[in-house]
Structure 1
Amino acid sequence: MTTKPWILGLTGGIGSGKSAVAQRFIEFGVHVVDADHAARWVVEPGKPALTKIVEHFGAEILQTDGQLDRSALRARIFADAHERQWLEALLHPLIGEEISQYLSRAASPYAILVSPLLVESGQHRLTQRILVVDAPEQLQVQRTIARDQSSSEQVHAILKAQANREERLRHAHDVLLNDQDLNWVHAEVERLHTFYLSLRGGQA
C-alpha cells in the first residue's frame, strides 16, 4: 500500500525568496502546489466564484475579455474591510478545495503547499509541517522593488498586511534564513529535502 504524501507548508513574506526555494524543491521532484495559482484558477471565467463576484461588485469588476480585473477588485477590497471579508469568505473555502485536489495528485513522498498567507488564511491546517523562508526586512524591500519595480511605500504596505514575522516564525517547524546567494539556498534546500525524506507524516 502506498502511503499518502504528507504536506509541507512553505511560506514567507514578500521578497523573502519563497519562489526560488519552491523551484529548487520542484527540481528535486517534489510535487508543489502554489496557493496563488489556485486563487487565480477559482476566479477564471465560467467558474461560479466569478459569477458571484460580478453579482456583488458589478460588471465594472471585469475586463473587456470577461476576465476578472484584479486591480479594480483590489482597489475595492483594500478601501473597505467589509468587502474584503466578504470576498475572503467566498474564496477561501474554494481555494482550499482547489489546493486539496492538486495536493491529492502528488506522487512524491511529501508535497509542498506554497502560500504567502499560509498562516493568515488558515491554509496551514492543510499541512503537517511548516517551513518559513525568512529574510531581513531591508532585503525583502530591496528584492521586491527590484522585481516588481514597485515603490518602497507599496512594499512596506504589503509587509504590513501580511502576518508579521514573529507570527509566521511562531508557526514554523523549520526556518530557512535567505540572506545569502542562490548557491547557499540550493544547498539548504537539498539538506532540508534529505531530512524531509526521512520523516514519516512530517514529524521527526
Structure 2
Amino acid sequence: MYVFGITGGVGAGKSTVLRLIKENFNASVIEADEVGRMLMEPGNSAYLKIVEIFGEDILDNPGEQGSTINRAKLAGIVFNNKNKRMVLNGIVHPLVKKYITEEIGRIRCAEKYDYVFVEAALLIEDHYDIICDELWYIYADEETRRERLKSSRGYSDEKIDSVFASQLSDEQFRSHCSRVIDNSHDEQMTLGQLKEIIGYYD
C-alpha cells in the first residue's frame, strides 16, 4: 500500500482532485482539516487543551458541560495574533499528525485499499514526508486560482493577495514534491494525469 501526500496553494482545487481520487481509484482519503475538526469536538484531545489554554469564552455556551468550541470566536482571537495562532497550531497540528499516522496504520492492517492519500495545507511545513511515500503538488495558475476564490468564496483581490503571501511559493512546492498535477483545466485533464501517475504503482 502506498501513501501519498497532497498539497498545494489555496484555490488550486485540491478538493476536486481528492474527489476524483475517491471516485476512480481504490484509495482512502484522509483530510487534515476534517481530522482537526473531529479532534476539537467536546471530549477529544485538542478540545481539552484548547479550552484549558484559551478559556471557556471560546465555547458556544460557556459554563455548559460538553459545549462545542465556537470556531468563529477562536479564529477571531488568533487571526491577528501571531503568538496565539502559534499556540493553537502547536496544540492542533501534532495531534492531527499523530491521529493520521495511526489511521494509516489501521488502514494498512485492514488491507482494503491500494493507496492512502493524505491532504494537508501544511503538508510540507509539518514534515508529512516522514509518513508519506511521496508528496504531490496540486498546481493551478494564479489567474485560475484567483477566479475560483472570487466565485466560490467571494474573496477580494486584497484578501487573495494576503492569503497567497502567507503560503509557500510555486517554486517551494515544486522543490519538495515528487509529482506535479496541473489542475488549471477541466476535470478530465486532471483525471488523465492521475491515471498516468498512479499507473506507475499498479
Instruction: Compute the TM-score of the two structures, normalised by the length of structure 1.
Output: 0.87
1:140 and 1:20 map into 2 onto residues whose CA distance is: 13
Q: Structure 2 regions of 5+ residues with no counterpart?
A: none
Q: Structure 1 regions of 5+ residues with no counterpart?
A: 198-204
Q: CA deviation at 1:104?
A: 2.1
1:196 and 1:115 map into 2 onto residues whose CA distance is: 22
Aligned-pair Cα RMSD in Å: 1.7
Does residue 60 of structure 2 align to residue 63 of structure 1?
yes
Name the counterpart of 2:182: 177
2:9 and 2:33 map into 1 onto residues whose CA distance is: 14
Q: Secondary structure at the match of 1:104?
A: helix
Name the counterpart of 1:104: 105
The farther-off stretch of 61-70 and 10-19 is: 61-70
On the 8 A contact 1:25/1:193 being kept in 2, the answer is no
Name the counterpart of 2:3: 7
Q: CA deviation at 1:29?
A: 1.8
Q: Secondary structure at the match of 1:105?
A: helix
1:122 and 1:158 map into 2 onto residues whose CA distance is: 21
In the alignment of these two chains, the number of paired residues is 193
Q: Residue by residue, what CA displacement relative to the aligned partner does 1:54-106 show, whole Å, maximum 9, x if unpaired?
A: 22112221123822222222222222211112112211221011111222233
Q: Judging changes above 3 Å, is the alpha-carbon distance between structure 1 residues 123 and 137 closer, same or farther for their aligned structure 2 residues?
A: same
Q: CA deviation at 1:124?
A: 3.0
1:48 and 1:130 map into 2 onto residues whose CA distance is: 27
| Partner residue of 2:135 out of 124, 130, 138 | 130
Pairs within 5 Å for 1:38-57: 38-57=35-54
Name the counterpart of 1:149: 154
Which one-letter code corresponds to 1:63 in the other structure?
A: D
Which aligned runs of 4 or more in structure 1 are off by greater than 6 angstroms?
none
Q: CA deviation at 1:176?
A: 0.7
Name the counterpart of 2:26: 29
Instruction: Compute the TM-score of the two structures, normalised by the length of structure 2.
Output: 0.88
Q: Residue by residue, what CA displacement relative to the aligned partner does 1:151-204 show, whole Å, maximum 9, x if unpaired?
A: 23222222222222221111110101112111111211121221232xxxxxxx
1:157 and 1:72 map into 2 onto residues whose CA distance is: 21
2:148 and 2:124 map into 1 onto residues whose CA distance is: 22
On the 8 A contact 2:5/2:119 being kept in 1, the answer is yes
2:194 and 2:141 map into 1 onto residues whose CA distance is: 19
Name the counterpart of 1:200: none
Name the counterpart of 2:95: 94
Which one-letter code corresponds to 2:48 in the other structure?
A: T
Q: CA deviation at 1:131?
A: 0.9
Does residue 164 of structure 2 align to residue 168 of structure 1?
no
